[in-house]
Amino acid sequence: MAEVISKRIADGTYPPGSRVPGIVELSAEFEIAASTAQKALAHLRDTGQVRTELGLGTFVADSE
Protein backbone atom coordinates (compact mmCIF):
# COMPACT_ATOMS: atom_id res chain seq x y z
CA MET A 1 0.00 0.00 0.00
CA ALA A 2 2.82 2.42 0.81
CA GLU A 3 4.23 1.87 -2.68
CA VAL A 4 0.87 2.64 -4.31
CA ILE A 5 0.47 5.83 -2.25
CA SER A 6 4.05 6.80 -3.10
CA LYS A 7 3.31 6.34 -6.82
CA ARG A 8 0.15 8.44 -6.49
CA ILE A 9 2.21 11.21 -4.91
CA ALA A 10 4.82 10.97 -7.70
CA ASP A 11 2.25 11.03 -10.52
CA GLY A 12 0.33 13.96 -9.04
CA THR A 13 -2.81 12.07 -8.01
CA TYR A 14 -2.06 13.43 -4.53
CA PRO A 15 -0.34 16.79 -5.14
CA PRO A 16 1.78 18.54 -2.47
CA GLY A 17 -0.36 19.80 0.38
CA SER A 18 -3.33 17.59 -0.47
CA ARG A 19 -4.92 15.30 2.08
CA VAL A 20 -4.14 11.60 1.85
CA PRO A 21 -7.05 9.25 2.62
CA GLY A 22 -7.21 8.25 6.28
CA ILE A 23 -6.58 4.88 7.84
CA VAL A 24 -10.21 3.75 7.62
CA GLU A 25 -10.46 4.77 3.95
CA LEU A 26 -7.17 3.10 3.04
CA SER A 27 -8.10 -0.05 4.96
CA ALA A 28 -11.30 -0.33 2.95
CA GLU A 29 -9.67 0.48 -0.41
CA PHE A 30 -6.82 -2.00 -0.02
CA GLU A 31 -8.79 -4.52 2.06
CA ILE A 32 -6.18 -4.54 4.82
CA ALA A 33 -6.25 -4.20 8.59
CA ALA A 34 -6.23 -0.69 10.04
CA SER A 35 -2.96 -1.47 11.81
CA THR A 36 -1.34 -2.30 8.47
CA ALA A 37 -2.58 0.96 6.93
CA GLN A 38 -1.25 2.83 9.97
CA LYS A 39 2.18 1.24 9.54
CA ALA A 40 2.24 2.15 5.84
CA LEU A 41 1.40 5.78 6.60
CA ALA A 42 4.09 5.78 9.30
CA HIS A 43 6.59 4.54 6.71
CA LEU A 44 5.61 7.32 4.30
CA ARG A 45 5.95 9.84 7.14
CA ASP A 46 9.38 8.45 8.08
CA THR A 47 10.55 8.83 4.47
CA GLY A 48 9.30 12.42 4.36
CA GLN A 49 6.61 11.90 1.74
CA VAL A 50 3.70 12.84 4.01
CA ARG A 51 3.18 14.84 7.18
CA THR A 52 0.53 14.37 9.84
CA GLU A 53 -1.32 17.21 11.50
CA LEU A 54 -2.94 16.10 14.73
CA GLY A 55 -6.70 16.26 14.45
CA LEU A 56 -6.61 17.20 10.76
CA GLY A 57 -5.17 14.21 8.92
CA THR A 58 -2.24 13.21 6.75
CA PHE A 59 -1.05 15.44 3.94
CA VAL A 60 1.44 15.15 1.10
CA ALA A 61 4.65 16.90 2.16
CA ASP A 62 5.56 20.00 0.20
CA SER A 63 8.37 19.30 -2.24
CA GLU A 64 11.38 21.45 -1.55
Query: Does the pLDDT at position 63 exceed 90?
Result: no
Give 7-58 pLDDT, tens digit per residue.
999 999 999 999 999 999 999 999 999 999 999 999 999 999 999 999 999 9
Domains and CATH numbers, the chain: 2-60 (1.10.10.10)
Whole-structure pTM value: 0.88
Give me the pLDDT at residue 18, please: 97
CB count within 10 Å of CB 9 equals 20
Query: Does the pLDDT at position 64 exceed 80?
Result: no
Structural contact between residues 61 and 19, judged by C-beta atoms closer than 8 angstroms: no
